[in-house]
Amino acid sequence: MAEAVRAVGLTKTYVTGTTSVVALDDVSITLASGTVAALLGPSGSGKSTLIKALGFVSPADRGEVLFEGRSVVKDGTALADLSELRRRHLGFVFQKANLTSFLTARENVEIACELGGKGDGRRRARELLAYLDVAGRERSYPEMLSGGEQQRVAIARALANEPSLILADEPTAALDSVRSRTVMELFRKVAHERGAAVLVVTHDHRALDVFDVLYEMEDGRIRPATAAGGARR
């Protein structure tokens, strides 16, 4: 299977005053197109730091990241236009929806569709909101939406540019378990139907059967996870 992103030997140390924390300790991971992977691990183990390195938000100090086979970051140096890469090919979902408060749900998604340059923004925004079961809220402003609805709009927004890589950092932390599972199944559907590689940081062990692959981080290191009941597929 084609690889969307591959990281080799990522190491990152945060230095604050006299203390330093090794957040990534020689982490290597490959995310294949068309698969959905979970990233597990205790608080402070380096999950968000890894997501930021894979998403070209905050590079590691050492190591290499290849996007679709092309080296784009090496030892903290960008070898490509990373903001262009993010805008065209990546989708992000965070714990908080962070929607633009003065735009409606549809406008939030529509702007992302137009930036992503994949055709009629308004029509695509409508389709994506329907896909996420929030079509009825498209004229609502974020403050009028529940946390779960805001998050579904945020996921629609993340899909706007038809990303080949979707990175989600605890996207369901604000959702109840039924909605959480629905969202995880949606990530799987996006991976399997649209061929995106999806990596989801999650603490919700009830939905792990949704994932193709499980990884676990501990003290900045990564390994394949062997959670009870493991991945089905």
Ligand X SMILES: Nc1ncnc2c1ncn2[C@@H]1O[C@H](COP(=O)(O)OP(=O)(O)OP(=O)(O)O)[C@@H](O)[C@H]1O
- Rounded least distance, CB 43 to ligand X, Å: 3
Bin 44: left if φ > 0, else alpha if -120 < ψ < 50, else beta: left
**Residue 46 interacting partner from ligand X, Mg ion, none (CB closer than 5 to 8 Å by kind):** ligand X
Q: How far is the CB of 148 from ligand X (least distance, A)?
A: 20
Q: How far apart are CA 92 and CA 134, in angstroms?
A: 19
Positions that interact with ligand X (CB under 6 A): 14, 16, 21, 23, 41, 43-49
Least Cα distance to 199 among 22, 31, 2 occurs for 31
218 close to 20: Cβ distance less than 8 angstroms: no
* Dist CA 145 CA 97 (whole Å): 11
Query: Is the Cβ of residue 43 or residue 101 nearer to ligand X in the bound state?
Result: 43
Between 22 and 111, name the residue whose CB sits nearer to ligand X.
22
Q: Which of 24, 88, 93 is closest to 80 using CA atoms?
A: 88
81 binds, among ligand X, Mg ion, none (CB under 5 to 8 A by kind): none
- Cβ-proximal residue to Mg ion, closest one: 48
Comparing CB distances to Mg ion, the nearer of 129 and 200 is 200
Q: Choose between 129 and 199: whose C-beta lies nearer to ligand X.
A: 199
In this chain, which of 11, 33, 35, 48 binds Mg ion, going by CB under 5 A? 48
Q: How far is the CB of 45 from ligand X (least distance, A)?
A: 4
- Strand, coil or helix: 14: strand
Q: Which one, 9 or 195, has the nearer CB to ligand X?
A: 9
CB of 49 to Mg ion, least distance (A): 8
Q: For residue 91, what are the contacts with CB-CB under 8 A and spacing of at least 6? A: 158, 159, 160, 161, 163, 165, 166, 167, 196
Q: Is 202 in the site for Mg ion (CB under 5 A)?
A: no
d(C-alpha 132, C-alpha 125), whole Å: 11
In whole angstroms, the minimum distance from the beta carbon of 51 to Mg ion comes to: 8
Residues that bind Mg ion (CB under 5 A): 47-48
